[in-house]
Amino acid sequence: MPNQIRIAVSKGRIYKQALPLLAQADVEPLDDPETSRKLILDTSDPDIKLVIIRATDVPAYVAYGGADMGVAGKDVLLENERLPVYEPLDLGIARCRMSVAGLPESRPLGRRMRIATKYVNSARKYFASQGLQVEIIKLYGSMELAPVLGLADAIVDLVDTGATLMANGLVEKAHIMDISSRLVVNKASMKTKHARMSQLIEDIKQAVEVEQ
């Protein structure tokens, strides 16, 4: 399918917020991934398909050409830095922050702490930048439990409203960075499908400017 463009996107928050941007670029899915079991969705443009995959898999799909472009959180991209993709646009969607959090009464962030996170790369870089040597424990979910059950002194996680931290008796101890979703692009597709890809990126860029 030399003219087909596949866009990888994950269900949920990112999908919902990416839809209006894609719609402005005249790309409207013909199915709803929340109700359909299809993983490849047709769109109003016969040459453009949406590929529904896990957020953490978007960089791999795009880097290895399973998709020509995709939408991925900066948090996920930083954990996959070695995968070669272009990152032409900050879409300004799925905004949140990456923070260190712990129990309110816990000691200040210091050396030799145990940090539980799924963001190993970002956590390691952050503590190194603070001159702190810490032990990092990789978890895949429910990070908030780790300080509560004594598995770790603190966690590195995404925070939006703060409700999840509060519900689990945790407080933010440090702000690491602001996060938003980015458009990422396969390097070969950018050459072989240059005209269509550039047009699509430009249309999405204009949609982002309208939304902001």
* CA distances (Å), origin 167, targets 56, 96, 99, 163: 25, 18, 16, 6
Subset of residues 67 to 96 that bind ligand AMP, contact rule: CB under 6 A:
73, 94, 96
- Residue 140 binds ligand AMP (CB under 6 A): no
Q: How far apart are CA 203 and CA 24, in angstroms?
A: 7
Taking CB under 6 A as the criterion, the residue among 26, 135, 160, 178 binding ligand AMP is 160
Taking CB under 6 A as the criterion, the residue among 53, 156, 159, 170 binding ligand AMP is 159
Residue (62 or 71) nearer to ligand AMP, CB = 71
Burial of 203 (0-12, 13-18, 19+ CB in 10 A): middle
Closest contact distance (angstroms) between CB of 60 and ligand AMP is 18
Using the rule CB under 6 A, give the single segment among 64-72, 159-167, 185-193, 195-203 that binds ligand AMP: 159-167
Q: How far apart are CA 81 and CA 108, in angstroms?
A: 30
Q: How far apart are CA 77 and CA 60, in angstroms?
A: 10
Q: Would you tell me which residues interact with ligand AMP (CB under 6 A)?
A: 13, 73, 94, 96, 157-164
